[in-house]
């Protein structure tokens, strides 16, 4: 959510930021509705004061049958009617303003490049060595040949975009989760938590998922939503709280299953594990002061990059352009891993700086150490990493010609010293 006071003072800057996203200007509408709303509030307060004075004067009239008493009573009655009418109009204006404000995206950072789509994103760097793999197989072909990636059985019980991982691939998934969390907690001082995977609508609203992206998540019949990312519960830990500046920054890490309806993704990445309704993800989250937030954004991104470096997976860092950046994001880096079978880079992590956008919705504040002034916090989060896509990257980058897959060195201790994943000779189902 944006600050209405800032919009009043900077209407042109708002429209400029919206224009970069390809959105029509709305500042005139906002200021017009806001001005009418404020005028109504002022008029209501004036009438309430007038009513109070008249009601007080009644107490000094001892003859309740007098003309003065009757006139004042009629005046108060008319004032009450007028206040009711104005309050109805005020509610209408508040609703209109809220609808516009709730659908306003965050302001893009000054260093975010202008662009209309992902083709105009800016590649900042490429890291790692791309191996020359002759006739590389897709991850789903490798998984099938190993006998450890079962889409058919999953589809029978859950429909498309689900998978069952078996044996060593299930073990690899567990190893990756533990490895990622160990790196983030021991090397980068993130604090591990295990949050709920079901949340109320207000929690989704606080991070910017609602109302705009209501159809992108799974909703239960009892008023809950399955989380699309651990960003939702982690951000809401600090909702309606005021933290002391000396306690900041706070860095959290969590593994959760994530659930997405993938509305609008029909026909995209139909084969394999790239786009699933359910997937595991290790999420990084930081809450910081505005002065610290840019540094913490870079720090969090470095933590996510470190996983790729330790796994020796080729990747690149991409700065998203104004037309590709997320609704709530102020600035975003995508980490894209190399997939040999696709002969291209694919997103494996998205790290975003949200400035005070989410904090304003969730009322997450801090008290400055010296001045004792209370202000809104800044939030930052990113995948560290998406576990399923990391499995994809390992299968494709570590595949061998005999059908086996080499286990990255950093994961071997997490897999009991195992160095290779070889095809199953038999399976229990």
Largest CA distance in the chain: 106
Task: For residue 401, say whether it is annotated as part of any ligand binding site.
Answer: no
Instruction: Return all residues near 145 (Cβ < 8 A) that are at least 6 apart.
Output: 137, 403, 423
Is 348 labelled as part of a ligand binding site? yes
Residue (of 391, 390, 421) closest to 404 by Cα position = 421
Hey, what are 58's tokens? Answer: 């009644």
Is 381 marked as a binding-site residue? yes
State how far the Cα of 77 lies from the Cα of 66, in Å rounded to an integer.
17
Q: Is 187 annotated among the ligand-binding residues?
A: no
SS3 for 42-61 is HHHHHHHHHHHHHHHHHCCC
Is 243 within 8 Å of 366 (Cβ atoms)? yes
CA-angle at 131, arms to 126 and 135, nearest 5°: 125
CA distance 174 to 262: 25
SS3 214: helix
Check the annotation: does 109 bind a ligand: no
Residue 186 annotated as binding? no
Contact status, residue 259 vs residue 278, Cβ threshold 8 Å: yes
> How far does Cα 378 stand from its chain's mean position?
13
C-alpha 340/C-alpha 345 separation (Å) is 9
Which helix (H) or strand (E) segment holds residue 308: the answer is helix 290-310
Is 262 assigned a ligand-binding role in the annotation?
yes
Q: Is 304 annotated as a binding residue?
A: no
Distance CA 114, CA 120 (A): 8
d(CA 12, CA 28): 10
* 260 is an annotated ligand-binding site residue: yes
Instruction: Determine whether the annotation assigns residue 145 to a binding site.
Output: no
According to DSSP H, which parts of 131-267 are helical?
139-146, 151-158, 167-186, 201-207, 231-236
On whether the CB atoms of residues 219 and 373 are closer than 8 A, the answer is no
The response to whether 229 counts as a known ligand-binding position is yes
- Region of 412 please: left (phi>0), alpha (psi -120 to 50) or beta: alpha
Angle at 335 between CA 333 and CA 337, to 5 degrees: 160
**What does R_g of the chain's alpha carbons equal in angstroms?**
28
Annotated binding-site residue? 38: no
Q: Is 231 annotated as a binding residue?
A: yes
Tell me how far apart the alpha carbons of residues 234 and 4 are, in angstroms, rounded to a whole number.
26
Q: What residue numbers does the annotated binding site for L-serine cover?
A: 229-231, 260, 283, 381, 383
Q: What residue numbers does the annotated binding site for ATP cover?
A: 260-262, 347-350
Q: What residue numbers does the annotated binding site cover?
A: 229-231, 260-262, 283, 347-350, 381, 383
């Amino acid at each position: 959510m944006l600050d209405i006071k800032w919009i009043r003072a900077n209407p042109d800057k708002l429209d400029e930021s919206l224009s970069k996203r390809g959105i029509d200007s709305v500042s005139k509408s906002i200021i017009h509705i806001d001005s009418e709303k404020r005028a109504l509030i002022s008029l209501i307060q004036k009438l309430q004061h007038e009513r109070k004075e008249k009601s007080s004067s009644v107490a000094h009239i001892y003859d309740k049958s007098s003309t003065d008493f009757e006139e004042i009573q009629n005046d108060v009655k008319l004032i009450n009617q007028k206040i009711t009418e104005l309050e109805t109009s005020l509610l209408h204006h508040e609703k209109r303003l809220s609808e516009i404000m709730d659908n306003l995206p965050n302001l893009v950072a000054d260093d975010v490049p202008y662009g209309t789509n992902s083709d105009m994103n800016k590649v900042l760097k490429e890291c790692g060595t791309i191996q020359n793999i002759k006739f590389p197989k897709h991850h789903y072909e490798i998984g099938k040949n190993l006998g450890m990636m079962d889409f058919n059985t999953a589809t029978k019980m859950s429909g498309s975009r689900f998978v069952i991982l078996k044996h060593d691939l299930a073990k690899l998934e567990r190893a990756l989760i533990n490895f990622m969390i160990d790196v983030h907690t021991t090397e980068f001082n993130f604090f591990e938590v295990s949050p709920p995977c079901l949340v109320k609508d207000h929690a989704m609203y606080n991070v910017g998922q609602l109302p705009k992206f209501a159809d992108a998540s799974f909703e239960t019949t009892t008023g809950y939503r399955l989380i699309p990312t651990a960003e939702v519960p982690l951000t809401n830990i600090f909702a309606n709280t005021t933290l002391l500046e000396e306690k900041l920054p706070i860095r959290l890490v969590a593994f959760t299953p994530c659930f997405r309806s993938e509305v609008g993704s029909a026909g995209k990445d139909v084969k394999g594990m790239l786009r699933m309704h359910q997937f595991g993800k290790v999420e990084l989250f930081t809450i910081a002061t505005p002065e610290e937030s840019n540094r913490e954004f870079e720090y969090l991104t470095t933590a996510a990059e470190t996983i790729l470096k330790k796994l020796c997976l080729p990747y690149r860092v991409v700065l998203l352009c104004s037309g590709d950046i997320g609704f709530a994001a102020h600035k975003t880096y995508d980490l894209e891993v190399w997939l040999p079978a696709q002969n291209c880079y694919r997103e494996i992590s998205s790290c975003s700086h949200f400035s005070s956008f989410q904090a304003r919705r969730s009322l997450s504040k801090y008290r400055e150490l010296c001045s004792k002034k209370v202000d809104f916090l800044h939030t930052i989060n990113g995948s560290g990493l998406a576990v399923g896509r990391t499995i994809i990257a390992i299968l494709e980058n570590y595949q061998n010609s005999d059908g086996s897959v080499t286990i990255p060195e950093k994961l071997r201790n997490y897999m009991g010293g195992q160095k290779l994943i070889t095809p199953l000779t038999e399976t229990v189902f």
